Structure 1
């Protein structure tokens, strides 16, 4: 009997300790909710490794300006920009001139002729990119970069080009047949369904970029000087 009572007493004490611990346990706990939304990853790729090559040209071309444009006009070039995303998303494209101090001012007396193949001449210095300098520091010329809507493909289908100027306050998107890039990252270029102005979601886009360039004449660059074009710009994406 004694042995039995001792075992019962030990069990009773154990139960008492357990109950006491339950009484003093915390009465609340914390629930944490986490997660984040991330944009699809998009990769821009320029054809021809991003190089627009005007080739070797005779310095005789520099003897006089083309017609009455005030500058020597070079043949317009085209390079394709392809953007591929791992999920449907909308992006804007913008450009930054890395040779901006070398640009040649353009205007009514010196301009880039029919820069986008749409009949308009480029006479706005704020919209052109620099072509580098000669060995003695003289600015060679200027060029433009324009996205052409007529040849644009978004997920295999035609689409519209829209743009937004960031330095215009709360201005919205506008439609354009030629999306002219600004060299200071102040203009967004994007795509939309035709007849709309809402940035379109896509997984793949191919847009041709027209590069139109014009250079100064020999009397401004210096006779006997080897002239090497050295334009350089960064094309960037912004998720919308």
Structure 2
């Protein structure tokens, strides 16, 4: 959340041999917004998706292997109705085998284990069904992602259509399913002679709009 409180202007004045000389000046403006309400996101199962033990021989050799989808419930509770979005920050971004997905870590610091995708399903805001939205420009414009992946690095929002455009709406209590679809890289591209841990990690952050 931006925390700046005021605008600041800097002016420079120079003097030469006792005569005042007006110098060029430039204005610096510091902007921001302090919201009176706060929002807290939570995930069921402590945000952990555990696929258990997988046998290397069950993985596809030449194509990625899709694991069963797992669904968590995500809630965002605010002190009052608040206009917000959600940022999905991939803590393993360099290891994703698909640029729009989230990474699962590396083997030997070089081999990408795989990718997982997120999908926002059946969101309900203050007891009313809403449309999951996505913005790839920081919230300037939005598109619907109902039935589609929420891409890594993009901002998610929840709302509807106003004036022919998709827009997020202020929300106090949001509930949505978060479907997690995991995909392991082709086995031929991985060193599976030892146990390999799936190491996906992402931070879902509330961004006030």
Normalising by the smaller structure, the TM-score range is 0.7 to 0.9
- Report the TM-score, using the length of structure 2 for normalisation: 0.75
| CA distance in structure 2 between the aligned counterparts of 1:174 and 1:137, rounded to whole angstroms | 35
Give the aligned partner of residue 72 of structure 2.
79
* Residue 180 of structure 1, aligned match among 142, 149, 155: 149
SS of 1:152's partner is strand
Q: CA deviation at 1:37?
A: 6.1
| CA distance in structure 1 between the aligned counterparts of 2:150 and 2:157, rounded to whole angstroms | 11
Unaligned runs of 5+ in 1: 1-35, 105-124
Unaligned runs of 5+ in 2: 1-32
| Residue 213 (1) aligns with residue 206 (2) | no
Q: CA deviation at 1:171?
A: 5.3
SS of 1:229's partner is coil
| Residue 222 (1) aligns with residue 191 (2) | yes
Give the aligned partner of residue 157 of structure 2.
190
| Residue 154 (1) aligns with residue 125 (2) | yes
| CA distance in structure 2 between the aligned counterparts of 1:84 and 1:171, rounded to whole angstroms | 24
The runs of at least 4 aligned residues of structure 1 exceeding 4 Å deviation read: none
SS of 2:99's partner is helix
Give the number of equivalent residue pairs.
174
| CA distance in structure 2 between the aligned counterparts of 1:237 and 1:202, rounded to whole angstroms | 12
Give the aligned partner of residue 51 of structure 1.
48
SS of 2:132's partner is strand
- Report the TM-score, using the length of structure 1 for normalisation: 0.66
| CA distance in structure 1 between the aligned counterparts of 2:94 and 2:49, rounded to whole angstroms | 20
8 Å contact kept, 1:162–1:179 = no
Q: 1:129 to 1:37 in 2, by over 3 A?
A: closer
* Stretch of structure 1 that moved more, 130-139 or 90-99: 130-139
Give the aligned partner of residue 122 of structure 1.
none
| Residue 134 (1) aligns with residue 107 (2) | yes
8 Å contact kept, 1:82–1:205 = yes
| CA distance in structure 2 between the aligned counterparts of 1:223 and 1:43, rounded to whole angstroms | 40
| CA distance in structure 2 between the aligned counterparts of 1:98 and 1:60, rounded to whole angstroms | 29
SS of 1:126's partner is coil
